[in-house]
Amino acid sequence: MDTTNVVNLDDIERLVASTAALTFVATNKREAYQWVNDTLFRLCYRRLTKSKKGVVQRYVRKVTGYSEPHAKRLIGRWLRVGRLVFKTYRRHRFPTTYTSADVALLAVVDQAHQTLSGPATTQLLKRAYERFGKVEFERLAKLSSSHLYTLRKRAGYRATVRTYEKTKPTKILIGVRRKPEPDGRPGFIRVDSVHQGDDPILGKGIYHINFVDEVTQWELVACVPHITERYLRPVFEAILVQFPFVVVNFHSDNGSEYINKIVAGILERLRIHQTKSRPRHSTDNGLVESKNGAIVRKQFGYHHIESHHAPSIHDWYRTWLNLYLNYHRPCAFPTRTVDHKGKENIIYKHGDYTTPYEKLKGLPQAAQYLRPDLTFAKLDEPAYAQSDTDFAFAMNEAKQRLFSGLKQPTKVSIN
């Protein structure tokens, strides 16, 4: 603001009165301080009476936008020193002992010795200067162990010694890391488990074990109270022989409930090849994981179910759900085509929906895949004994009876 035309106190009083409704704010401290210094000098502030000094003070507060205490401090400094100069704040800094070159030299030493402890590293720095006469280590030779860790936090040090290592996998010889290739043959089973939640008082919930064939989507679900050898061994031995076709391949993720000597021994005895999912290939076990949500979670949700209910749920699976899934519930089977560019296109047509049993019967020469003790005539009996909707109603009634048992309160004793 140019106020050089304001030369007397009368002009100042009129200016302050006319701008009473206005507020000014100084945008540059250096310029504001210079304006205050020039104004006080031009108006001969030292020689003014007390009342006239009050007019000048109001004038300074109006133009600069400063508060009354701030304006009085600036005027008081001007009276003591004779001029008002804006002082740039300079943060106090301790003198730098170790330069960026010293930090880079420390990083080189740490890289060579693979970052030893502080006391060991300071001994190396001291020996480099005193024993081997390397003058570039003169300052680092006096470095303390505690301050060494401070230098290691500097950006220049971290940029020099930063290293990345891939996760080193633990080699487990059980199973082969690859995606199964069924080539249209049934018997390639995908397996996954679903946990029914934990409770801080009642403990861990039940576990659902889901088995799905890749080609026919034949699905069998089991339920166990815990993922231990005691419960998994009988379930695996029973489920794997319940498929109507010969099981050729058993594929799972890398969980310890499947990759262990117990499961490997069962599969070896049944002459079933074991494979496991590859790292960074999330779709290797995608089929059974989608069934976890579409089947298991749809039936039981996510709420906690106590482990002692596992036998009754497993019995409902064996008696009702497994029959419903394979004989009465249509699944989507995609039609795959390859265009002129070699890109595979997946389309789900209306006619692609069928039950797993009908899909099994529709395979070329399907009888060759059945177990020796089964024929399609035997399998037709449970498949066509009831209509799909009648069986679903009967299954839902059994489910309601099952759920009424699950809702019974559990007595918990607290010692």
Do 204 and 136 share a structural domain? no
What pTM does this model have? 0.58
Do 120 and 58 share a structural domain? no
Q: Is residue 21 part of a domain?
A: yes
pLDDT at 396 over 80: yes
Q: Is residue 169 part of a domain?
A: no
- Tell me the pLDDT tens digit for each residue of 335-349: 888 888 888 888 888
pLDDT attached to residue 24? 76
Do 192 and 138 share a structural domain? no
Q: Which of 225, 187, 186 is nearest to 209 (CA)?
A: 225
Q: Is residue 283 part of a domain?
A: yes
Boundary of a domain, candidates 81, 113, 129: 81
- Tell me the pLDDT tens digit for each residue of 97-155: 888 899 999 998 888 887 888 888 889 898 989 888 889 999 999 999 899 999 999 88
* DSSP β-bridge partners for residue 198: 204
* DSSP β-bridge partners for residue 276: 177, 252
Do 262 and 357 share a structural domain? yes
Q: Which of 271, 283, 384 is nearest to 326 (CA)?
A: 384
Q: Which of 160, 153, 164, 155 is nearest to 118 (CA)?
A: 153
Q: Is residue 89 part of a domain?
A: no
Do 151 and 122 share a structural domain? yes
Do 309 and 268 share a structural domain? yes
Do 361 and 244 share a structural domain? yes
* DSSP β-bridge partners for residue 344: 338
Do 233 and 376 share a structural domain? yes
Would you say 254 and 276 are in contact if contact means Cβ atoms under 8 Å apart?
Answer: yes
Q: Is residue 128 part of a domain?
A: yes
Residue 169, SS3 per DSSP: coil
Boundary of a domain, candidates 47, 81, 115: 81
Do 408 and 370 share a structural domain? yes
pLDDT attached to residue 407? 66
Would you say 336 and 346 are in contact if contact means Cβ atoms under 8 Å apart?
Answer: yes
Most confident of 154-158, 202-206, 314-318: 314-318
pLDDT at 411 over 50: no
pLDDT attached to residue 168? 62
- Provide the token pair at 208: 């659902």
- Cα 313 to Cα 116, 143, 372, distances in angstroms: 58, 69, 30
Do 394 and 276 share a structural domain? yes
| Spatial separation of the C-alpha atoms in residues 65 and 23, rounded to whole Å | 7
Would you say 99 and 152 are in contact if contact means Cβ atoms under 8 Å apart?
Answer: no
Counting the structural domains of the chain, the total is: 3
- Cα 372 to Cα 178, 183, 246, 257, 328, distances in angstroms: 29, 22, 9, 30, 24
Q: Is residue 95 part of a domain?
A: no
Q: For the stretch 224-241, what's the b/e string if a residue is b when 16 or more beta carbons lie within 10 angstroms of its beta carbon?
A: bbebeeebbeebbeebbe
Most confident of 1-15, 167-181, 322-336: 322-336
Q: Which domain holds residue 339?
A: 186-415
Q: Is residue 385 part of a domain?
A: yes
Q: Is 305 left (phi over 0), alpha (psi -120 to 50) or beta?
A: beta
| Complete DSSP assignment for 334-372 | -EEEE-TTS-EEEE--GGGEE-HHHHHHTSTTGGGGB-T
Q: Which of 30, 18, 8 is nearest to 88 (CA)?
A: 30
Boundary of a domain, candidates 81, 116, 135: 81
| Spatial separation of the C-alpha atoms in residues 173 and 387, rounded to whole Å | 47
pLDDT at 6 over 80: no
Do 309 and 203 share a structural domain? yes
pLDDT attached to residue 351? 76
Do 331 and 202 share a structural domain? yes
- Tell me the pLDDT tens digit for each residue of 50-76: 888 888 888 888 888 888 898 898 888
Q: Is residue 179 part of a domain?
A: no
| Complete DSSP assignment for 212-251 | EETTT--EEEEEESSSSHHHHHHHHHHHTTTSSB---EEE
Residue 57, SS3 per DSSP: helix
Question: What's the CATH code of the domain at 281?
Answer: 3.30.420.10
